[in-house]
Amino acid sequence: MPSVIQNPPEAQPSMHFDATAATNAYLAQIPADKTARSDAYFEGGYWLILWDFLYGAAVALLLLNRRWSARMRDFSERVTRFKPVHTFVYWLQYLALTTILVFPLTVYEDYFREHKYGLATQTFGPWMGDQMKGLGVNLVLGGLLAMLLFGVVRRRARTWWIWGAGVTILFLIFTALIAPVYIVPIFNKVTRLDDPKIVDPILSMARANGIPAKDVYTMDASKQTTRMSANVSGFANTMRITLNDNLLRRGSPEEIQAVMGHEMGHYVMNHVNKLITFFSIIIVLAFVCLHWGLSWTLQRWGEKWQIRGVGDTAVLPLVVLLAAVFGFVLTPVFNTIIRTQEHEADMYGLNTSRQPDGFAQAAIHLGEYRKMNPGPTEEWLFFDHPSGRNRIYDAMRWKAENLKLFTPPLSRKEEAH
């Protein structure tokens, strides 16, 4: 993408300001080869949703049909009869085996493909280091969740799915709470921003919106990627806004303010809490389906797979398989819920930052890894943010309807005459 994006003549305030023409003028600044490249990257992602699902399903079926899962359970039982430790030992083997089996896809998707599209900044060694760290996080958090869930299933043989949903929801909230403080710093260095040129306008915007922020955080995302981004993370008192260093380095001040306004929208409209509520409903639904799916499949193939029941750790690949089917089918629903929030944050951000051109610049920069101009069905199915074209159009329409903010004082005087 062009590193400096011009404010095109069509987007200058005038009597003839036209939102569509201004949008097209912004889009015209993107060279055709760059559009082809980011389209190919993003459209490839649609197929990856399918391949990830099929590959994961094949791995799960392999573990079940070849009774590797049953053997891992047998081994765990030989190690210990103490149930929580037994579950953890099973989890350890399961995680190691599936990580190895899925590794070819992981290395293609996260390493070679990211490099091919110029989005990755890591050499293989550091990338592998991050993978190992991720595995460690997974070992601890996944192990904890597995121990809790199997504990619940063993104690509540008939109502386990209600209790299981409850435990999973609490676990989700716990993870959201600790993530910015304990998980993000494992991978990246998070620091407080102290450049007053950037921080002061952001903090006054925060005050104007009733946000009790004293600090703005940044992290060294450039260690892994060239992507520009920012996010709101955490829950309750760990909630914070973080701008990544790619945005700070490559974004104009207007662009940074526009992005910050968007993030404040997430914050003020309690999007994290709403998302947790939404996911809680999905988790309850998932457990209802799981309850039904497990009894159906175990009745048919339980003996063949040597799974003794829902409380047997050997059932885990089947649980993962059923959850994957559920998640795959609901992909457009997840995308639409998140995209709706993102659109709300976009409009909030425009109103609060009053930087429609900064926002258009950001939309173009984000177009390095997202298709700018998809069809409406494509956007509904696959986009978890509004498309770049729609974002620029929203900004330009907002500008058209608030042109007086951009008219120089002289002509305002003329208008008065």
Cβ atoms 278, 263 nearer than 8 A:
no
By CB under 5 A, the count of residues binding Zn ion is 2
Query: Which neighbouring-strand residues pair with 217?
Result: 192, 242
Cβ atoms 313, 87 nearer than 8 A:
yes
294 or 366, CB closer to Zn ion? 366
Q: Site mask, Zn ion, residues 345-384, x = CB under 5 A?
A: x---------------------------------------
Write the burial class of residue 47 (CB in 10 Å: 0-12 exposed, 13-18 middle, 19+ buried).
exposed
CB atoms within 10 A of CB 129: 12
Q: Scan residues 76-115 and list those touching Zn ion (CB under 5 A).
A: none
Read off the DSSP letter of residue 120. Answer: B
Query: Which neighbouring-strand residues pair with 218?
Result: 191, 243
Secondary structure (3-state) at 230:
strand
In the complex, minimum distance from the CB of residue 5 to Zn ion, in angstroms, rounded to a whole number: 20
In the complex, minimum distance from the CB of residue 152 to Zn ion, in angstroms, rounded to a whole number: 34
In the complex, minimum distance from the CB of residue 351 to Zn ion, in angstroms, rounded to a whole number: 15
Which secondary-structure segment (H or E) carries 305?
Answer: none
For the chain, how big is the Rg over CA atoms in Å? Answer: 25
Q: Scan residues 243-302 and list those touching Zn ion (CB under 5 A).
A: none
In the complex, minimum distance from the CB of residue 331 to Zn ion, in angstroms, rounded to a whole number: 19
CA atoms of 359 and 300, how far apart (whole Å): 55
In the complex, minimum distance from the CB of residue 229 to Zn ion, in angstroms, rounded to a whole number: 9
342 or 357, CB closer to Zn ion? 342
Q: Site mask, Zn ion, residues 312-351, x = CB under 5 A?
A: ------------------------------x--x------
Cβ atoms 244, 232 nearer than 8 A:
no
In the complex, minimum distance from the CB of residue 185 to Zn ion, in angstroms, rounded to a whole number: 22
176 or 314, CB closer to Zn ion? 176
- Give backbone dihedrals phi and psi of 49, rounded to 5 degrees, phi first: -60, -45
286 or 345, CB closer to Zn ion? 345
Interaction site with Zn ion (CB under 5 A):
342, 345
